[in-house]
Amino acid sequence: MCELLVGLPDVNVLGLDDVPGGPLRVHVELRASTVGCPQCGVVAHVKDRYQVELVDLPAFGRWTRLVWHKRRWRCPDADCPKGSWSEQDSRLAASRQALSDRAARWATRQVGESASSVNKVADELGCDWHTVNDAVIAYGTALVDDDPERYGLVRALGLDETLFVREGEYHRQRFSTSIVDVERGQLLDVVPGRSGVEPTAWLNAQGPEFLAHVAYGTLDLSGPYRAVFDKTLPYATQVADPFHVVKLANQKLDECRRRVQTEVFGHRGRKLDPLYRARRLLTMADERLVDKGREKLLGLLAAGDPKGEVMTAWHAKEVVRSIYDLDNEIVALQFVERLGHDLQDESSPPEVRSLGRTLLRWKHHIVAWHEAHFTNARSETMNNLIKRTKRAAFGFRSFRNYRVRALLYAGKPNWDLLATVIPR
């Protein structure tokens, strides 16, 4: 009955220590068998025995330890260089792991699939944080990296940045780049930095078949990511994310409002200043403004925008939004080109002229949305899942831990393979 409860093949239960207030300790040993020297093949002798205590799954609501009475073998041949060695059985525990094999696989699923914190799982097992984390990383790395079918060929690829950690006395920010299948909504990998070096290396490592199948690349208005696609996927259609295009227009509008505020009133916006009171109304979509809101906005602009610069920037933002009301790619390209030139008129505020130049630099990427209808929305979704993992972990300092935990949660690993993977 004890052997059935332990649930391990070829194991004898030697006894049980039940100390009040402490964990249950189940003493086991492998059933004896003839062992040959791995070097010369001579039948080995038992040199001595020692005990290894493994953290196991709880039993009867109690923390449980599996005490493995291991044999140390020796080769009787005096000329054999092997000497002595310890018996190993991966069914009990993987090499250099303090968790039993089944406890390690259970912990990996709890932390990876359910986004539980390592500390919570460690409390359930009654062990140290590092004990659980080492197992999660060892088994998780094998699950996400050793499965060639975790993701196949990708038609639409997205790149986006997310904050990895703030470190040092001045909280210097370190970023990472998420590589996402934006068609299926799957995190493919996470690489350090937000330059083009690491994403380029990752794409080149996927092979020519993978690269040839990518037809679309989505990105925010990032020069480094644009260079990645230009270099590694020259035949893929690059799509500028509509959200970031409209966000840029709103950003230029806000820059214009703050500049005019300082020029007219001589200080930053205060709660009674008209331009400061109008900041929320300015960023709202025109069709969402009710008559009372539009009347209030126009009144505030009349009081705080004597030259009409903020009004011009507001109209420019609304015209940029109208790009996505068009349903014809050729018409949209002509519209963006004309808009980019019109916004650079000498009478326009400097922020609006800057917006016009950006539209012309990215015009083909902006218009590509009308053909592809792919956005970076799923890249942002993956970043949100990564941030949830970071919140559960109270942040990361090790990029390896960060990458494996993110892929376990958002990378759609095949959890059916967890029972068969060989931990790294």
d(CA 277, CA 298): 12
Quick check: 68 and 28 in contact, CB under 8 A? Answer: yes
- pLDDT at position 36 is 85
Quick check: 182 and 218 in contact, CB under 8 A? Answer: yes
Amino acid found at 41 = G
Provide the mean pLDDT of the chain: 93
CA distances from 285 to 181, 274, 293, 319, 320 (A): 30, 19, 11, 11, 11
The stretch 17-21 carries a mean pLDDT of 86
The stretch 114-136 carries a mean pLDDT of 95
Q: Label residue 4 by pLDDT band (50, 70, 90).
A: low
Quote the percentage of the chain above a pLDDT of 70: 98
Label the pairing between strands 11-18 and 24-30.
Answer: antiparallel
Whether pTM > 0.75 for this model: the answer is yes
The stretch 99-123 carries a mean pLDDT of 95
Please write the tens of the pLDDT for every residue from 92-105. Answer: 899 889 999 999 99
Please write the tens of the pLDDT for every residue from 234-279. Answer: 999 999 999 999 999 999 999 999 999 999 999 999 999 999 999 9
Please write the tens of the pLDDT for every residue from 168-177. Answer: 899 999 999 9
d(CA 64, CA 100): 11
- pLDDT at position 6 is 66
Quick check: 180 and 157 in contact, CB under 8 A? Answer: yes
Query: How many other CB atoms sit within 10 Å of the CB of residue 77?
Result: 15
Please write the tens of the pLDDT for every residue from 189-228. Answer: 999 999 999 999 999 999 999 999 999 999 999 999 999 9
- pLDDT at position 321 is 95
d(CA 408, CA 142): 11
Please write the tens of the pLDDT for every residue from 38-87. Answer: 888 888 888 889 999 999 999 888 999 999 999 888 888 888 888 888 88
Kindly state the greatest CA–CA separation across the chain: 100
Does the pLDDT value for residue 409 go beyond 80?
Answer: yes
d(CA 24, CA 64): 5
